[in-house]
Amino acid sequence: MRRIAALAILAAGCTTVGPDYKRPSIELPAQFPAGDAADARLAPSWWTLYRDATLDELVAAARKNNADVRLAAARVREAEAVLREANAAFFPEVNATASGSRARVSQQTLPPSPRGVPLVRPNYLFSLSTSFELDFWGRFARASEAARANLLATRLGQDVVALGLAGSTAQAYFALRSFDAQITVLNNSLKLRNDSLAIAQARLDAGLASELDVYQAQGAVADALVQRRDAERGRALLERQLGQLVGQLDLKIPAGDLFALPVPPTPPAGLPSALLERRPDIRSAEESLVAANAQIGIARAAMFPTISLTAAAGTQSVELNNLFQGGAGIWSFGANITAPIFDAGRRAARVEQADARRGQSLAQYQRAIETGFREVAEGLVNVQGSADTEAGLAERLRAARNALELSTLRYESGYSPYLEVLDAQRTANDAELAYVRNRQARLAFSVDLMKALGGGWSPGKPGSEP
């Protein structure tokens, strides 16, 4: 008993082998490329900035019903159970045993059974037993550390899924609204081309134009019809995509106005690169690095002796009614030390494997940070560039509309050939569609930036953390 007590006291001063985690230093510029907007705040529910009730409902439905969300939630539950299992190793395991048996012994053995002792002998047993391994080298502590880090990484992975799902839903919705706007543009273009066809037919009937003008007008009408059918087909496909994202395969979304969706402000100038720390994928990568670092300690602990305690207590009797009577008690205590002597380098190889996996996790963590910085920088460039492009496309659109109006008047007055009208129609149609598609791209780029910043940013002094 004294020896067992001494082992227990010794366990209280046990050490934890393996390296303690220290965040690696990864050099990055202090700030992202500067934005040019005023100070802005973006909440985690960033999609509400677009002030569209349909979009809010779609994102809410996707975060509730999407299969990827349920899969991520199940992975979190699994990681929680793994952590509970790892923490349970700190406590002894207690088992209860109850047994009853009858056995006949041989009369032909040496020494023979004593006279008067029955050959058929019953035996009844009830006992409680326990075993407990002392965590002298911190193997259980490192296993708990690794499981806890894996749980945090899994929870952050769930946040990655939610953020990506909200982004995909918003961008698909913007693309659908873009098709709505394109269909409106093509309907207007179709009306103008039908009007031009009627004018060309009237001039042909009056002998003021040739059949070539009519044929060219008919071709222009057919071209607009083909473009509209393609836009309608694209919209239908996006509606199906949104239905899958939100878990409503029969989803129907009425037409809406793309230009009613505001573009959120860009981040303020001097946005600190420390904002990357809020990205769930980067935080998840760091927690995976923490877990890999703890695995080294688990592998190293296996190279040291294992110290365990065992104990059992109970009763035993040949008669069931005497099982719990005085004198039937039994007990045992024991201690065991197992030390590796020779394993041909097996345990050392496992330490090297754990260290190599830590190196892999470190490289993945670094790549996640560098990728995040690149995505934010690209997002800032794309948002600003698409805004500048929109201004140029708006000027182009005004000029194309004026040119179409003037060419139509000149043709009706007989001052120019129909070819000028066709060219003006194509130019105006292309300008309208380009303006619509750029607005869609601008909205999509704003979503990319929000995702790259981990769901938003908060105002603060340049170079300070949010």
| Residue predicted with more confidence, 14 or 159 | 159
User: Taking a C-beta distance cutoff of 8 angstroms, is the pair 186, 228 a contact?
Assistant: yes
Per-residue pLDDT tens digits for 261-308: 998 877 665 566 666 777 899 999 999 999 999 999 999 999 999 989
Q: What is the pLDDT of residue 348?
A: 94
CATH code 2.20.200 region(s) in the chain = 104-132+305-339
Residue 7 has pLDDT above 80, yes or no: no
| Residue predicted with more confidence, 108 or 228 | 228
Choice among 51-65, 201-215, 233-247, 356-370 with the minimum mean pLDDT:
201-215
User: Taking a C-beta distance cutoff of 8 angstroms, is the pair 165, 280 a contact?
Assistant: no
Residue 40 has pLDDT above 80, yes or no: no
Mean pLDDT value of segment 160-183: 95
**Residues found in the chain:** 466
Q: What is the pLDDT of residue 9?
A: 41
Q: How far apart are CA 44 and CA 454, in angstroms?
A: 8
Q: What is the pLDDT of residue 124?
A: 86
- In sequence order, the 6+-apart residues with CB closer than 8 A to the CB of 455 are 42, 44, 46, 163, 278
Q: What is the pLDDT of residue 458?
A: 52
| Residue predicted with more confidence, 18 or 181 | 181
| Residue predicted with more confidence, 275 or 169 | 169
Residue 341 has pLDDT above 50, yes or no: yes
| Residue predicted with more confidence, 377 or 42 | 377
Q: Which of 457, 450, 452, 458 is nearest to 59 (CA)?
A: 450
Q: How far apart are CA 442 and CA 419, in angstroms?
A: 34
Q: What is the pLDDT of residue 106?
A: 81
Choice among 98-107, 155-164, 404-413 with the minimum mean pLDDT:
98-107
Per-residue pLDDT tens digits for 69-113: 999 999 999 999 999 999 999 898 899 999 988 888 787 777 777
Q: What is the pLDDT of residue 179?
A: 97
Mean pLDDT of the chain: 86
Topology at the third CATH level for domain 2-90+135-303+343-452: Outer membrane efflux proteins (OEP) (1.20.1600)
Q: What is the pLDDT of residue 271?
A: 62
Residue 414 has pLDDT above 90, yes or no: no
Q: What is the pLDDT of residue 3?
A: 45
Residue 22 has pLDDT above 60, yes or no: yes
Q: How far apart are CA 325 and CA 317, in angstroms?
A: 9
For the packed helices 418-452 and 139-205, what is the interaxial angle rounded to 10 degrees?
Answer: 170
- Which stretches of 219-351 are assigned E, i.e. beta strand? 306-317, 329-338
- In sequence order, the 6+-apart residues with CB closer than 8 A to the CB of 265 are 37, 38, 40
CATH code 1.20.1600.10 region(s) in the chain = 2-90+135-303+343-452
104-132+305-339 is classed CATH 2.20.200? yes
User: Taking a C-beta distance cutoff of 8 angstroms, is the pair 301, 142 a contact?
Assistant: yes
- Kindly report whether the global pTM for this prediction surpasses the value 0.85: no
Q: What is the pLDDT of residue 291?
A: 96
List the beta bridge partners of residue 99: 125
Residue 37 has pLDDT above 50, yes or no: no
Label residue 156 by pLDDT band (50, 70, 90). very high
- Burial bucket for residue 316 (CB in 10 Å: 0-12, 13-18, 19+): middle
